[in-house]
Chains A and B, each alone.
Chain A
Amino acid sequence: GAGVSQSPRYKVAKRGQDVALRCDPISGHVSLFWYQQALGQGPEFLTYFQNEAQLDKSGLPSDRFFAERPEGSVSTLKIQRTQQEDSAVYLCASRSDYGDTQYFGPGTRLTVL
């Protein structure tokens, strides 16, 4: 079956631009997670949704970062007024209600110039 998909795969933005990153989870998966992976480091948790409810956003680095999942399926991570330090791979993962394994998408590589 289809896995987690993310788009775009690559995004180049000029500093100060807004960007929107999309995640399509595995169909029927209740939980959705966003992570930020800087070059040479492990992924770091950003935020977590259960259905449409954002239950944890403690990892969002600033108020320029905003995530939503209005219908409990597709999610969008928005970054306003991008800065160079936002350059990273943004990973999305989903999980069913019946297990503890998170399934990851291929990520979106964001480069801020």
Chain B
Amino acid sequence: AQSVTQLDSHVSVSEGTPVLLRCNYSSSYSPSLFWYVQHPNKGLQLLLKYTSAATLVKGINGFEAEFKKSETSFHLTKPSAHMSDAAEYFCVVMKTSYDKVIFGPGTSLSVIP
């Protein structure tokens, strides 16, 4: 069975400082992994995805994530936080042989001016 753990329910950073949102997964398959962002009252937007190509994945708005199979992790990072990054972030795992996706519980990111 697949599952996704997001280790922090809430992260607070100062504007201009680095962001780290942690995600660990379990999967009996080689998974596809995604990060989505959800701004208040808006739909989910894809930030980036890993699908067994390069382990370091670059996404939109300066975000990137590194797939580490040995650690079963897919942490999301950004060098410098912007006020507009404040939102809910979801790590998502998908079986490559099936279409069902599993969402993590989410991490709420706050950016302090």
Given A4-B43, A106-B43, answer yes or no on A44-B99 (Cβ-Cβ < 8 Å).
Answer: no
| Minimum C-beta distance from A58 to chain B (A) | 8
CB of A41 within 8 A of CB of B106, answer: yes
- Number of A-B pairs whose CB atoms are under 8 Å? 50
What is the size category of the interface that chain A forms with chain B?
A: 20 to 34
Q: Which residues of A contact B41 (CB under 8 A)?
A: 106
Q: Which residues of B contact A3 (CB under 8 A)?
A: 43
Point out residues on A near B: beta carbons under 8 Å: 3-4, 31, 33, 35, 40-45, 48, 55-56, 91, 93, 95, 100-107
Point out residues on B near A: beta carbons under 8 Å: 32, 34, 36, 41-46, 49, 51, 90, 94, 96, 99-106
Q: Which 7 A-B pairs have the closest CB atoms?
A: A42-B103, A104-B44, A106-B43, A104-B43, A43-B103, A42-B106, A42-B105
